[in-house]
Amino acid sequence: MIDDWAPLIPSFGLIWNVIRRSIIVPALTVSIYLCSVMVVMVFLERLYISAIIYYKMISGFKPEKRYKIQAINPVEDNLKEQCGVQQCTSDYPMVLVQIPMYNERKVYKLSIGAVCRLSWPSDRIIVQVLDDSTDHLIKELVAIECQRWEKQGINIKHETRVHRNGYKAGALQEGLKHSYVEGCKFVAIFDADFQPEPDYLNRTVPYLIHNPEIGLVQTKWDFANSRESMMTRIQEMSLNFHFKVEQEVGSFAYAFFSFNGTAGVWRVTAIDEAGGWNARTTTEDLDLSLRASLHGWKFIYVSDIKVKCELPSTYKALRYQQHRWSCGPANLFRKMGMDIIRNERISLWRKIHVIYNFFLVRKMITHITGFTFYCVIIPMCVMFPEVEIPKWGAVNIPTAIMLLNIIETPRSIPLVAFWISLETVMSMTRLKGILTGLLDRKRASEWVVTEKLGDVPLKSKDSNSLPIKSARKPPLLERIYLMELCMGVFLFFCACYDLAISKSGKYVYLYLQASAFFICGLGYVGTQPPYY
């Protein structure tokens, strides 16, 4: 039998050489060229952002210097008893504070307690707990917590729904329909793990009072568990770049930036004019922000006001979060791209910024390049040594981009190698999310709530009031991620091929990349969640 096939072997070799020279090599060459162009696009966008942020730092810009605001002094609980001091609480606008939550066993007391301690006249604030919990025991405990604060004089409402239509967006929109919120001019939103300081409203609401063109005041997230693990420290590096650079640049340059879904105060009129909350994508915050921006509303970001919160500490939670954050913008771009182009209320410059800078470069090209170039094309090139990879596109410019990204978190610079590894692994999840959103697949509308574990820095003494079983680590099969493992096998094969045959020296990089995918694929990153 072998002898029968022997004459055909040279023919197979000839066919392979033809396919190699006429299809694979040209395809890889074109792909490298396209990826290099995209790397340059990302670099120019990062350079533009960095130039603005450093100009802002040199000029000593502060939001309060640009916007005419008059601080509101904190109000004590016994204000009404201070007849001579009180200046009629009607001077304070009515504020609604919404806390959307879903089965938040670990952290429900933290956000409710923090919001109920806000120093705002009790007759000028309504706390609205939007509880979509499906666990009846958790729902009952949330109701008890609300009743406890109500007895202390807090105007708090525990709102539940018989369904979860629209997920978080549906809950927020439903909350605005209640008759008791009709007099509220502003609405502050905090997710279940966020804890604002008592003076939060005193520092944010004045921006809205004295500047009628402003529709949103976004504040910074302060990560309470950033030092918990290597994974949380790496997340801090990425999110600090987002807040300290992207958000501040958008605010400073009057360009578009998005509400982050929490730790912000909206003008109710801006929400209404934009059409209210919409659940057509998994990033309802970006959807509302974009529609409000197209109606001419301005947003400001105040970095000096920080709200304590929790980073995802398990790889599974991070994976779901990054998929949602990548899928939502891509899906929204598919649905609103033409609306942006046709809009007549905003300038051409603003349209270019939103479409090119915000959506194409930041939300899509960055992640597409991160995976396809470094995890697919470069590894494949070790098997096709005739394909040249320009050093400037694969090393020099990406290194400059990396330095621009991490410079906002100097204490984490020693972790740059780990940051690159995790970001490369997560780029696969992000690319999958982008494709899901652009193609509008079924999972594009799937909402998975980010798991909160009530980490040590966030825990209150009685945060674990629910009876639980003794936890143990999940078995290996419960924390295996096949996509990451398959990618690790591919990279490992390419590294071995390069070491044994090509000898281009790329095997060092490829072995490190393969190791990162294997570690994440086996769940050995972040903290281990309890397994009951």
Retrieve residue 363's tokens. Answer: 């939300």
The CA distance from 37 to 322, in Å, is 25
Tell me if residue 10 falls in helix, strand or coil. helix
The CA distance from 373 to 421, in Å, is 14
Tell me, yes or no, if 285 is annotated catalytic: yes
Retrieve residue 153's tokens. Answer: 């004089």
DSSP string of 479-513, one letter each residue: G--HHHHHHHHHHHHHHHHIIIII--STHHHHHHH
- The b/e string for 242-265 (b: 16+ C-beta within 10 A; e otherwise) is bbbbbbbbbbbbebbbbbbbbbbb
DSSP string of 230-264, one letter each residue: HHHHHHHHHHHHIIIIIIHHHHHTT------SSSE
Annotated active-site residue in 131, 132, 193, 287: 132
Q: What residues are paired with 307 via a beta bridge?
A: 221
Retrieve residue 47's tokens. Answer: 């350079």
DSSP string of 9-21, one letter each residue: HHHHHHHHHHHII
H or E segment and range at residue 100:
strand 95-101
Q: What residues are paired with 158 via a beta bridge?
A: 129
In this structure, the number of other CB atoms found within 10 A of the CB of residue 167 comes to 19
Amino acid found at 246:
E
- Give the E-state strand segments of 182-274 in sequence order: 186-189, 214-223, 264-267
Retrieve residue 89's tokens. Answer: 């609480």
C-alpha count within 13 angstroms, C-beta hemisphere, residue 431: 19
Look-up: residue for tokens 């094969």?
493
The CA distance from 487 to 519, in Å, is 12
Annotated active-site residue in 131, 191, 285, 287: 285
The CA distance from 303 to 495, in Å, is 44
- Nearest CA among 298, 297, 294, 299 for reference residue 346: 294
State the angle between helix axes of 284-294 and 315-342 in degrees (0 to 180), rounded to the nearest 10. Answer: 20
Tell me, yes or no, if 199 is annotated catalytic: no
- Nearest CA among 299, 296, 277 for reference residue 288: 277
Contact 314, 530 (CB under 8 A): no
List the catalytic residues. 132, 285
